[in-house]
Structure 1
Amino acid sequence: MAMPTIYDVARRAGVSPATVSRVLNGRSTVDAGLRDRVNAAATQLGYRPNSLARNLRRSTTNLWAVVISDINNPFFTALVRGVEDVGQGLGYSVVLCNSDENPDKEADYLQALLADQISGFIVSPTSRTENLAALHEAGRAVVAIDRRPRNLAVDTVLVDNEHGAREATTHLIEQGFRRIACITGPARLSTASRRLRGYRSALRAAGIEPDPALERHADFRQRGGYAAMATLLAARPAPDAVFVTNNLMTVGALEFLADNDIRIPDQVGVVGFDDVPWATFIRPPLSTVTQPTYELGRTAATLLKARIEDPDRPPETATLRTTLHARASSRRR
């Protein structure tokens, strides 16, 4: 049987999760009647605070923490800059941590940051929702960025991943490609699953049934893109185009094509997701779906400030649009 959560207590008491958090953390600003209802509900359900949340002390600083999933990915550079620019303007300093897609490393960082009295968190979450839930239960302001955490109602900033994937795949179809492959990330991550969904949607809209043999789940890293491209081109018949759902895997896929003297786009058309600074410098120039990374960071910081000022406001999801930049790597000659 699952352990009761702060959300179960909130439903039983008829209050918001933020109110439950303030009661359980001993805040004096909660009405006595509400406090009694929350305590009674917690007792009835046998609720026990998360061990991470128990480490919380009572005061906070003017520090924000940004926990990203891969510091080697240039996607996060402009994103963090957007957070920092807003935070600095509001009097907050920003601490940067890299979870390296490791849920245990993410948990260690968050536990240490709670002890250091960080007042707000912007997190690109790994697959373990409990890590973010612990922050929420501790009464800290939390914004998820880039990925939607499962079964957790917190402020979230995303891009329209399905729209971007549909545009990329539709472009390849319109250029005359028919056996279009997709290299996406781990199935447990919302970005990977939604981009795969957009790819499939575009194929079906063109009367092409998605072929599981043309789909690969990799690790959102360069080596994963390289290995996935290798297995795709070993198949018969091989794909005539590929949509790669992040920048590092696109680098890996391009590396494999170059190592094997496979011409782009004559033999394989390529569209990547996430722009990269050198996209227009390589030959042929790379077609990409660009995310508004700086605006993602700014939007997350704005939501975090609003959450700090009003902990009881309903969770908000901001979804930003992507832009397709079609270049020579995906254009039929």
Structure 2
Amino acid sequence: MATISDVARAAGVSPATVSRVFNGGRVTAERAQRVREAADTLGFSPNRVARSLRTQRASVIGLLIPDIANPFFTALARGVEDAAQRTNLSVVLCNTDEDVDKERRYLDVALAEHMAGLVVAAASRRRTDLSAAAQRGMPVVAVDRRPRAAEVDAVMVDNQHGAEDATAHLIERGYRRIACVTGPAGASTSEDRLAGYRAALRDADVPDEWIRAHTRHADFRVEGGYTAMKELLALDVPPDAVFIANNLMTVGALRALREAGVAPPGFGILSFGDVPWASLVHPSLSTVHLPAYDLGEAAATLLQERIAGSAKPLQTVVLRTSLEPRNSTAGPG
């Protein structure tokens, strides 16, 4: 079987010139004719497999999320995939584990593979770097978390408003010593949810010193919620309720409460983010509902518009949360 080098020798040109002829590159008409005649004589056919691979890469988008074990990101990923499939885009899922270095390696792979675009839930508000994608002209949509320095389209949840509503709900139900377990310092979701919690307590004239003493940062995972809750219960003045800034940490916090013999609703607990069994446990768990699927769907739709060549100004889409009060915040009485 003739190769590209055989054609190049027969036509008196370089292999690169043969490649340009069959891939639409710029070549003089005389050279292109020589190449095609040599290819016909030798029975050479362009490498369809390689060309197919290049086409496939252009129909693939990357999805970078911090933790696929979190049901929130599972639902978000489903929203991305369903929207992508409508325009025949395939999705490559990358789990960053809240690790900026791992995230950077996945970004490098996406660029090397010439993916059509990226949906990114940033590992860090301050340290996630999307500049290489911007320099290459690769469309990027930030979802759920926006890196501070990135100029990209974004689809976000109104985290601060949702957290403020949740904390105000605890106050209205009669709890007075409300603590907060939020996520890693530097993550936009952590900071925004903490800001909502603080705003509600300040409106209730709770001193800043008390708020700081009863706030814990954790890792958005079960063990982080468990450790933070144990620390709060060990304080000289322990809380009588807690606002937990994500669903997995809520699982850990509930375990710590059970071990300490403390139970809702005498001790109030409210989770920012859904858990599938929230309405099934006793007492049922109050939550802030996050539109995870809608976030993913909106992000993928926005990315598709950019891939298609949309030149509209950068957009930020903000989706609202909704409070789902249940028995775990029925009141200390």
TM-score, normalising length: structure 2:
0.80
- Measured against aligned partners, the alpha-carbon deviations of 1:176-219 in whole angstroms (never above 9, x if no partner) come to 11110000011201100010000011111122224211100111
Aligned counterpart for 1:113 among listed residues 110, 120, 135? 110
| CA deviation after TM superposition for structure 1 residue 311, in Å | 5.4
**Gap change, CA 1:58 and 1:295, over 3 Å in 2:** closer
Aligned counterpart for 2:123 among listed residues 108, 121, 126? 126
- Work out the percentage of aligned pairs sharing the same amino acid: 52
- Measured against aligned partners, the alpha-carbon deviations of 1:216-263 in whole angstroms (never above 9, x if no partner) come to 011111111000000000001110000000001111100111122212
| Alignment: residue pair count | 277
Report the Cα distance in structure 1 between the residues aligned to 2:241 and 2:57, rounded to whole angstroms: 51
TM-score, normalising length: structure 1:
0.80
Structure 2 residue aligned with 1:95 = 92
**Gap change, CA 1:259 and 1:329, over 3 Å in 2:** same
Report the Cα distance in structure 2 between the residues aligned to 1:130 and 1:76, rounded to whole angstroms: 18
User: Which consecutive unaligned segments of at least 5 residues does structure 1 have?
Assistant: 1-27, 29-56
Structure 2 residue aligned with 1:296 = 295
Structure 1 residue aligned with 2:244 = 244
Structure 2 residue aligned with 1:153 = 151
| CA deviation after TM superposition for structure 1 residue 122, in Å | 0.3
Aligned counterpart for 1:82 among listed residues 76, 79, 83? 79
Structure 2 residue aligned with 1:204 = 202
Report the Cα distance in structure 2 between the residues aligned to 1:130 and 1:244, rounded to whole angstroms: 25
- Measured against aligned partners, the alpha-carbon deviations of 1:127-146 in whole angstroms (never above 9, x if no partner) come to 26453221111110100111
Report the Cα distance in structure 2 between the residues aligned to 1:82 and 1:283, rounded to whole angstroms: 31
- Measured against aligned partners, the alpha-carbon deviations of 1:269-310 in whole angstroms (never above 9, x if no partner) come to 000010110001111100000100110011101110111123
Alignment of 1:176-325 (within 5 A): 176-210=174-208, 211=210, 212-266=212-266, 268-310=267-309, 312-325=311-324
Report the Cα distance in structure 2 between the residues aligned to 1:81 and 1:126, rounded to whole angstroms: 20
| CA deviation after TM superposition for structure 1 residue 60, in Å | 5.0
Structure 1 residue aligned with 2:10 = none
Q: Is contact 1:180–1:239 with CA below 8 Å preserved after alignment?
A: yes
| CA deviation after TM superposition for structure 1 residue 315, in Å | 1.2
**Bigger Cα Rg:** 2
Paired residue secondary structure (1:97): strand
Paired residue secondary structure (2:62): strand
Report the Cα distance in structure 1 between the residues aligned to 2:229 and 2:195, rounded to whole angstroms: 20
Aligned counterpart for 1:173 among listed residues 171, 174, 181? 171
Q: Is contact 1:244–1:250 with CA below 8 Å preserved after alignment?
A: yes
Report the Cα distance in structure 1 between the residues aligned to 2:79 and 2:237, rounded to whole angstroms: 44
Q: Is contact 1:106–1:131 with CA below 8 Å preserved after alignment?
A: no
Paired residue secondary structure (1:148): coil
Report the Cα distance in structure 2 between the residues aligned to 1:60 and 1:136, rounded to whole angstroms: 18
